[in-house]
């Protein structure tokens, strides 16, 4: 059986390399949009490679369309798939998932969400793999406590996602006894950052600009963390300025064999063989969404079954509470060290990252 995908610019399916030998079951079709161009191009192209790898190895007919970061384009595209596609995987970015989810839910379908972590996406019909945005900085705040840092400045970028991240961090800080304040990026220059944890949440370009400004001005926070530092492009953009920056990542590879699909280290090996580079967490979570969606389809799990389903993929545990909030999966905190991302619990700086 051939493996297939298409992009929005193509009018017909095109075969992927290779074939899936020995499979006689009916062809299963999966579809999703990703931002192969536009605001989320970095993450979208990484996610695309991950989901293509899953489709190739699982023998899935994959339809992949470029939404260009446009909500209206994403909604229009998914509307055309409601009645003709077996598996619906979500787009990348919380705003795009938020736009598409009601359409899928109202049709009684499940949207397998890999690319949005804003807390309000926890709605019936949206099966989210990522840990909620409000938990992103939990590990970094715990690290601040370990370093005896008792002041927290949160730089909140635009949009609901950044608000969920900073509000969650503020709540965590209050819980751990850290005084906090939320500021805009334009006011960071005037802040006294000595003995302060500075945490930045916003779009990639926003976070990079804040860190670059802090480094250029010679400001020295006791601890510096950003959401954007969780993908390889952060280090590529900032070089030495990325050194020491902390970040939440949704995934770190493990050799442990999960219930569904390959191990994390096997996924890394296959991804490297396919692309020549190591996968980021957007690639991993997109592929894991495919493995989960396919497993649920094979087990004939319907809309009402998923909140009772507990399982795991190489991405981590999957458990939804009755409100469809992801409670099984948790983020990992990394530090940029010697040009690589390393979990903060790992002391050996020679270990290379698989993110």
The Cα–Cα gap between 18 and 15 comes to 8
User: What is the sign, positive or negative, of the torsion defined by CA atoms of 120, 121, 124, 128?
Assistant: negative
Per-residue tokens: 253: 């590879």
Mean residue pLDDT of the chain comes to 90
pLDDT in tens, 30-53: 999 999 999 999 999 999 999 999
The whole-number pLDDT of residue 168 equals 97
The Cα–Cα gap between 255 and 219 comes to 40
- Helix 160-175 / helix 94-106 crossing angle, nearest 10 deg: 110
Residue 347 pLDDT exceeds 60: no
The whole-number pLDDT of residue 205 equals 95
The whole-number pLDDT of residue 26 equals 80
The Cα–Cα gap between 78 and 67 comes to 10
The Cα–Cα gap between 72 and 62 comes to 22
- 3-state DSSP assignment of residue 29: strand
* Parallel, antiparallel or unpaired: strands 223-226 and 316-319: unpaired
Domains parsed from the chain with CATH numbers: 4-131+252-319 (3.40.50.2300), 134-249+332-343 (3.40.50.2300)
Residue 2's pLDDT band, with cuts at 50, 70 and 90, is: very low
pLDDT in tens, 195-211: 999 999 999 999 999 99
Q: What angle do CA 36, 227, 121 make, to 5 degrees?
A: 70
Segment 323-341 shows an average pLDDT of 96
- 172 Cβ neighbours under 8 A, 6+ residues apart: 137, 138, 141
Segment 246-268 shows an average pLDDT of 96
The whole-number pLDDT of residue 46 equals 95
Residue 1's pLDDT band, with cuts at 50, 70 and 90, is: very low
Segment 164-187 shows an average pLDDT of 95
Residue 331's pLDDT band, with cuts at 50, 70 and 90, is: very high
Nearest by Cα to 127 from 335, 318, 341, 316: 318
Nearest by Cα to 315 from 140, 130, 45, 93: 130
Segment 120-137 shows an average pLDDT of 97
The Cα–Cα gap between 148 and 151 comes to 9
């Amino acid at each position: 059986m051939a493996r297939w995908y298409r992009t929005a610019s193509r009018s017909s399916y095109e075969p992927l390399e290779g074939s899936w030998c020995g499979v006689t079951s009916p062809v299963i079709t999966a579809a999703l949009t990703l931002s192969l161009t536009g605001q989320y191009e970095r993450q979208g192209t990484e996610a695309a490679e991950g989901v293509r790898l899953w489709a190739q190895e699982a023998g899935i007919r994959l339809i992949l369309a470029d939404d260009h970061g446009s909500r209206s384009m994403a909604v229009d595209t998914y509307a055309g798939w409601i009645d003709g596609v077996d598996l619906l995987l979500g787009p990348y970015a919380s705003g795009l998932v938020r736009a598409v989810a009601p359409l899928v839910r109202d049709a009684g379908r499940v949207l397998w969400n890999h690319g949005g972590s804003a807390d309000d996406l926890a709605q019936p019909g949206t099966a989210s793999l990522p840990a909620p945005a409000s938990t992103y900085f939990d590990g970094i705040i715990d690290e601040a406590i370990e370093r005896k840092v008792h002041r927290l400045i949160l730089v909140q970028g635009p949009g609901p996602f950044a608000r969920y991240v900073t509000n969650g961090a503020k709540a965590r800080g209050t819980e751990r006894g850290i005084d906090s304040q939320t500021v805009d990026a334009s006011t960071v220059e005037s802040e006294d950052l000595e003995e302060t944890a500075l945490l930045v949440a916003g779009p990639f370009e926003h976070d990079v600009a804040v860190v670059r400004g802090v480094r250029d001005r010679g400001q020295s926070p006791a601890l510096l963390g950003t959401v954007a530092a969780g993908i390889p492009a952060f280090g590529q953009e900032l070089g030495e300025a990325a050194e020491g920056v902390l970040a939440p990542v949704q995934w770190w590879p493990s050799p442990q064999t999960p219930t569904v699909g390959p191990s994390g280290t096997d996924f890394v090996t296959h991804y490297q063989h396919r692309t020549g580079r190591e996968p980021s967490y957007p690639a991993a979570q997109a592929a894991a969404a495919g493995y989960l969606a396919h497993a649920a389809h094979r087990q004939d799990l319907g809309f009402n079954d998923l909140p009772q389903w507990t399982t795991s993929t190489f991405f981590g545990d999957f458990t939804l509470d009755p409100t469809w909030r992801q409670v099984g999966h948790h983020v990992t905190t990394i530090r940029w060290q010697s040009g690589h991302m390393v979990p903060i619990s790992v002391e050996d700086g020679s270990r290379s990252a698989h993110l």
